[in-house]
Amino acid sequence: MGFWADLFSDNTKEDPPREAPEDRVVERKPMEDRTPDGFPDLQKGTTVDISLQSGKLLLTGRITRFSTSDLTVERLPGCLSFQTRPVGESVFVRGYNRRMVPFSLRATIEESNRVLCKVKNLKVEQIPNHRVSFRLPLHAPASLHRQEDEKYANPESCTLVDISTGGACVESEFIHEEDEILRLKIKLEEYQPMRFLGQIIRAEEHSPGKYRYGILFAQMEDSELTALTRTLYNIQVGQKNEWSRSEVGHW
């Protein structure tokens, strides 16, 4: 009887109404919390440059606060005061994001004093001068070697001032000329030695008996460039990952 009862029973009753998908409450992020397309994945502690559109470097500091509309940069450990800038000045903020990709943000100065610089109206921009790359300040021991010294046997002590994927600035007591080709060896405590072949493109007397040289690195293999970029990123966020040296190329 169960079968026939089911067959001839009244099945016209409607199922209980289901909740329409559009009636469900969907939690949405406020507009101000949404990340604009192309905006870099920033984090506190990241070292950045603030420069003019011409490429002139104004200051280098560390991000202590940020949103998609503004960020605050403060002094790096061991660095002296910032140079103050006028409110409303148009600047660029450059550095590396979490994926070790260089970024550039256009912004305007909102607050500037000796210990911090706050900018607002952040917008993703292309780096105005592609020859100018992000420079990481490092007061680290280094040595210069003649081009023919391929075994780095005769070091000339110097100090690494800053470094980027394109070159470095060193300070030395020795005199060199522009266009001179040298080898540069850098040793950081947490990393294996880094060796580069480069050419002096800028030379100046920084203080009595102290000379600073801007060195342009020779063209790198893609694997070398990736490894160097990763290392610069690790250093700027305070990580202690080991240097990964390529087996090809000149360093």
Boundaries of every domain in the chain: 47-124, 136-236
* CATH 2.40.10.220 at 136-236, yes or no: yes
Residue 119 reports pLDDT greater than 80 = yes
**Tally of helices (H runs) and strands (E runs) in the chain:** 2, 12
| pLDDT at position 225 | 81
> Residue 223: pLDDT band by 50, 70, 90 thresholds?
confident
> Residue 173: pLDDT band by 50, 70, 90 thresholds?
very high
Q: The pTM is what?
A: 0.51
> Residue 35: pLDDT band by 50, 70, 90 thresholds?
low
126 phi-psi bin (left φ>0, alpha ψ -120 to 50, beta other): beta
Q: Which of 56-70, 128-142, 226-240 has the lowest mean pLDDT?
A: 128-142
- Would you call 217 helix, strand, or coil by DSSP? strand
Question: SS3 letters for 30-96?
Answer: CHHHCCCCCCCCCCCCCEEEEECCCCCEEEEEEEEEECCCEEEEECCCCCCCCCCCCCCCEEEEEEE
Better-scored residue on pLDDT, 234 or 156: 156
How do beta strands 167-172 and 210-217 pair?
Answer: antiparallel
Q: Tell me what the mean pLDDT of segment 221-243 comes to.
A: 71
Better-scored residue on pLDDT, 72 or 23: 72
| pLDDT at position 235 | 78
Average pLDDT of every residue of the chain: 79
Better-scored residue on pLDDT, 219 or 22: 219
Backbone angles phi, psi at 109, to 5 degrees: -70, 125
Residue 121 reports pLDDT greater than 60 = yes
Q: What percent of the chain has pLDDT over 70?
A: 74
Residue 162 reports pLDDT greater than 80 = yes
Residue 2 reports pLDDT greater than 70 = no
> Residue 221: pLDDT band by 50, 70, 90 thresholds?
confident
